[in-house]
A = this chain, B = another copy of it.
């Protein structure tokens, strides 16, 4: 595939999402390494606008599992919630007698989302380098208002992504990505690929098995994109309230 290999590249190239974990604890040293990896992530303008809430309380874990609708959430392993956090910097400015400045603007919200998401990916890579597995939980966005309540989050914070981390108890296959020519361009954006240009990739996707020990084939890529995942009437029930929660939390008041 690629001519260059090293330990780090190989971890990245072989990333697989893990959705089943052993009942083996993530060790305190592993957790420390994960937090350190998150914190050393690049941060826009040195604003450091994210926080992590580690969820150990079983009631809260069950509540979050319910929101996500996935039985592995808050089951075995650690559940970390990555929070866009402009609250800390607002509090600093207010204590120093200042206003909150541009923290309520869309561009600062986007910066916070970027800081937070970059940190999630570094945490994933760090976990995999230690033999742990992860699944990023966009599903916490199914009910952001409830997530805010569960974690007692103040204004100018938003729970963005969860991360379940643990010792893998499954070996999924590498999931084939779109051919590079449809994703990497030079200087200008080309015409979108046609269905027939995507046919060979569709073929690859349908012959890939999600788990080696299963006989379940998956739908072709174009069929997935055309289907329920994106259908207007299939929105997870509170996903349409995301914009409202973002605004209620004090973000992007100029949007």
Per-residue CB contact flags for chain A residues 187-200 toward chain B (1 = under 8 Å, else 0) read 11100111100100
- Chain B residues with Cβ below 8 Å from A103 are 230
- Chain B residues with Cβ below 8 Å from A154 are 189, 192
- Contacting pair B48 A186 (CB below 8 A): no
- Chain B residues with Cβ below 8 Å from A255 are 243, 246, 252, 255
- Contacting pair B106 A51 (CB below 8 A): no
- Chain B residues with Cβ below 8 Å from A118 are 117-118, 120-121, 136
- A248 close to B (CB within 8 Å): no
CA gap between A102 and B161 in the complex, in Å: 20
- A24 close to B (CB within 8 Å): no
Shortest A139–chain B CB gap in Å is 9
Known A-B contacts A13-B37, A37-B12, A41-B121; the reply to A189 vs B53 at CB < 8 A is: yes
CA gap between A8 and B6 in the complex, in Å: 9
- Chain B residues with Cβ below 8 Å from A216 are none
CA gap between A245 and B33 in the complex, in Å: 39
Interface size counted on chain A using CB atoms at 8 A: 122
What are 21 A-B contacts with C-beta separation under 8 Å?
A3-B29, A3-B33, A4-B30, A6-B7, A7-B129, A8-B126, A8-B128, A13-B37, A42-B124, A51-B183, A52-B184, A54-B184, A55-B187, A96-B222, A102-B230, A107-B235, A107-B242, A108-B230, A118-B118, A121-B122, A151-B188
- Chain B residues with Cβ below 8 Å from A175 are 46
Q: Which residue of B lies closest to A239 (CB)?
A: B107
**Of B91, B110, B177, which is within 8 A of A39 by CB?**
B177
- Contacting pair A240 B107 (CB below 8 A): yes
Known A-B contacts A9-B130, A117-B117; the reply to A15 vs B29 at CB < 8 A is: no
CA gap between A208 and B17 in the complex, in Å: 38
Q: Which residue of B lies closest to A111 (CB)?
A: B138
CA gap between A105 and B252 in the complex, in Å: 16
CA gap between A188 and B83 in the complex, in Å: 11
